[in-house]
Amino acid sequence: MAAEETIRAEATAIWDVRGVAATLLWDQQTALPAGAGEQRARQIAWAERALHERYRSDALGRMLEALPGEGDAASLARVLRHERERALRVPSELREELSEAAGLAQQAWVRARASSCFADFLPFLRRNVELRRRYADCFPELDDPYDALLDDYDPHARTREVALVLEDLKRRLVPLAGAVRGRTPEEPLRGPFAVERQRAFVAELLPAVGLDAARLRIVESPHPLTISMGVEDVGVTTRYDEANLDGVFLALHELGHALYEQGFEPAIADTPLAQGASASMHEAQARLFENLLGRSRPFWRFALPRLEAAFPEALAHVGLDDLEAVVNSVRNSPIRLQADELTYCLHTVLRFELERALLDGTLSPADLPETWAAKCAAYLGLEVDDDAAGVLQDVHWAFGAFGYFPTYALGNVIAVQLWEAVRRDVPGLDEEIADGRFDSLLEWLRERIWRHGRRLPADDLLRQAIGVDVDVEPYAAYLEAKFGAREVAAR
Ligand code: ZN
């Protein structure tokens, strides 16, 4: 076999192991019997160790030495080399421990969150933090231990640069959010919105926008997520509350992730190139569909009649103007997943600062709720009522996903850059969307972003797509224009 074919076969084998781990993970997140937590955590840890060892194998090392450097083969070599270099640093035992501890912590998190008791979760958090610190220690050459965690999500990203972006966002958004806080929010829509009808609405909406239903599953889980078990099998979850329609927006967020996962070109499917260029680029797709499309007037011209058909009583007197106002209302919530666009990034800044402090040891896990509350007051002007609405609200620190939070903020920034570019390139976009025609939007994103997967590093991909680097300015200007340029100008 030629070197390219050999490496391609190995890449597919690696990607199949990842698919097995992802399938177990999907099952863990969506369908696990209460008593099976430990067993499944062990099984996932085993699969992740197998993946880790495949990356570490001498055979892969020899193949990569022989691999020529052009086209997809070169991209594949770049991605495999990076994964391999990192895998070689981390002992397999530690890899397995990280995974198993995360699985157990997640089970504990579900219980602790249900009873709003941080103390029940604390030992698991301590263990996760300790293991992440050991993980970061495997990369002593990095300037900042947080770099090691960030790289798992945004390859080659550096904490120093990410921190500058987040500082910039904080500097601009804290005063803006403060100025807007005094306003009376829009009256929310009055339910009840029966869960089974929301479920049916979402099941029709997602394929109507462009997901391939034949390669899709949609179910419910405590934490909304998208897991690709392979390009032919993408799983999306959301959660519903009879009192509101938040679940629809959570589903629109996952829609963006799922479109990306379904959008990789067949030429790179079943290889490690079939993944988002970075977690930030992935979040950008999600936030674009959730907010920039999903809260736009043209979108609701298309979707409102369908929503009215699902909830004729609740929406009897709700017009397009009302709906647009409600879904764009400022809603300063202590819960990140319910936050409005304006305050959302501040939630991620808060978590980024806390997880950096946990990692470098300046914050003890036991002191997390207190520090959380202080930052929540300073950035959002909010008091935290209980642990479930505070430090226990997100799954990430249970799941072991330290380093992920900044990608939400970067995703917001990139989403606005992409949205402005697509609007420039497709002049009739609003009319098309209002008619339920999403082809131009999807084609633009597929052509420039989705189909390439990880062929290019994320920064290069963005530059190739829209000609510029990540830039906070369009996003900050968008929020200032939308939520109160007047107050800021008067400052
Ligand atoms: Zn997301």
Q: Which amino acid is at 372?
A: W
- The two tokens of residue 382 are 């909010």
Q: What is the pLDDT along the chain (491 residues), one digit of tens a residue?
A: 688 889 999 999 999 999 999 999 999 999 999 899 899 999 999 999 999 999 999 999 999 998 767 899 999 999 999 999 999 999 999 999 999 999 899 999 999 999 999 999 999 999 999 999 999 999 999 999 999 999 999 999 999 999 999 999 999 999 999 988 877 778 888 889 999 999 999 999 999 999 999 999 999 998 899 999 999 999 999 999 999 999 999 999 999 999 999 999 999 999 999 999 999 999 999 999 999 999 999 999 999 999 999 999 999 999 999 999 999 988 888 999 889 999 999 999 999 999 999 999 999 999 999 999 999 999 999 999 899 999 999 999 999 999 999 999 999 999 999 999 999 999 999 999 999 999 999 999 999 999 999 999 999 999 999 999 999 999 999 999 998 754 444 43
Cα distance between residue 360 and residue 300, in whole Å: 46
Residue type, 136: A
| Distance between CA atoms of residues 278 and 273, nearest Å | 11
Closest CA to 150 of 55, 258, 280, 254: 280
Q: How far is the CA of 347 from the centre of ligand 1 (A)?
A: 14
Whether the model pTM is above 0.85: yes
**CB neighbours (10 Å) of residue 254?**
26
CA–CA distance, 371 with 225 (Å, rounded to integer): 27
Q: How far is CA 359 from the centre of its chain?
A: 21
Compute, in angstroms, the gap from residue 154 CA to the centroid of ligand 1.
Answer: 14
Q: How far is the CA of 65 from the centre of ligand 1 (A)?
A: 36
Catalytic residues: 254
Measured in angstroms, how far is the CA atom of residue 253 from the centroid of ligand 1? 6
Measured in whole angstroms, the distance separating CA 263 from the mean position of its chain's CA atoms is 17
For ligand 1, the distance from its centroid to the CA atom of residue 292, given in whole angstroms, is 14
The neighbourhood of ligand 1, an ion, using CB within 5 A, equals: 286
Residue pair 286/253 in contact by the 8 Å Cβ criterion: yes
Ligand 1 centroid vs 256 CA: distance in angstroms? 8
Q: Give the residues across from 237 on adjacent strands.
A: 219
